[in-house]
Amino acid sequence: MFIGIRLVKKKNKYDDYVEFYELVEPIIKTEEYLKRKEFPHHIDESAYDHMMRVAFDCYKIGKRSKMDYKSLTIAAILHDFYEKPWQYQTEKLPLFKQHGFTHAQNAIDNAKKVYGSEVVTKKVESIMKTHMFPLNIKPPTSREGWLLTFIDKVDSIDFILHPVILFKILRKEEIDQERKLTLRKVKNIIKRKNESS
């Protein structure tokens, strides 16, 4: 009996990975999505890695809490699907035009352009739209929206509070150096792409 319960638990855990992968696979396999492996997000990690982690946490918690976890997972895997790496923006923009305030809508527009409105449904759009609350002042309108907002922040804080990253933050000089390197890397990638097209 005890062994039987343990086996069922293991099977369910495996099923979660399979279902998660089946949900996100058509999105993450596209050339456009794979480019996010080259988009620096926070220090030393890509937008691809960040979205993958956030989406899996949303999937797990959303499913166990009986939310609309399929819409939530799609919204989470696309929530930072903005068009260009924000580090590449060199022109000085007014505060409300800066990345933090605009990228949620930009991610929705870009996702609709690439995947269409069968993937980016009204529900998916509403979950994505408010993920930067309170920076975007409109709060989430569903449980799924609140969960994405929360997990996205936890993931960022978690990452920033990693001892190695914290050490780098304390040594501001090093971080500035790293930002310059990241920017140079992004510029080179874009330059190479422009040359080959």
In the complex, which residues of this chain contact Fe ion (CB under 5 A)?
80, 152
Angle at 27 between CA 25 and CA 32, to 5 degrees: 130
Q: Nearer to Fe ion by C-beta: 67 or 151? A: 151
Q: Nearer to Fe ion by C-beta: 80 or 186? A: 80
DSSP per-residue string spanning the chain: -HHHHHHHHHHHHHHHHHHHHHHHHHHHTSHHHHGGGSSB-STT-BHHHHHHHHHHHHHHHHHHTTS-HHHHHHHHHHTT--SS-GGG--S---GGGSHHHHHHHHHHHHHHHHH-TTTS-HHHHHHHHTTTTTTSSSPPSSHHHHHHHHHHHHHHHHHHTSHHHHHHHHSHHHHHHHHHHHHHHHHHHHHHHHHH-
Q: How far is the CB of 187 from Fe ion (least distance, A)?
A: 22
Q: Nearer to Fe ion by C-beta: 18 or 153? A: 153
Q: Return d(Cα 128, Cα 80) in angstroms, integer.
A: 9
Q: How far is the CB of 51 from Fe ion (least distance, A)?
A: 7
Q: Nearer to Fe ion by C-beta: 7 or 160? A: 160
Q: How far is the CB of 54 from Fe ion (least distance, A)?
A: 6
Q: Nearer to Fe ion by C-beta: 20 or 82? A: 82
Q: Nearer to Fe ion by C-beta: 16 or 49? A: 49
Q: How far is the CB of 49 from Fe ion (least distance, A)?
A: 11
Q: How far is the CB of 25 from Fe ion (least distance, A)?
A: 20
Q: How far is the CB of 57 from Fe ion (least distance, A)?
A: 12
**Does residue 27 contact residue 124 with C-beta atoms inside 8 Å?**
no
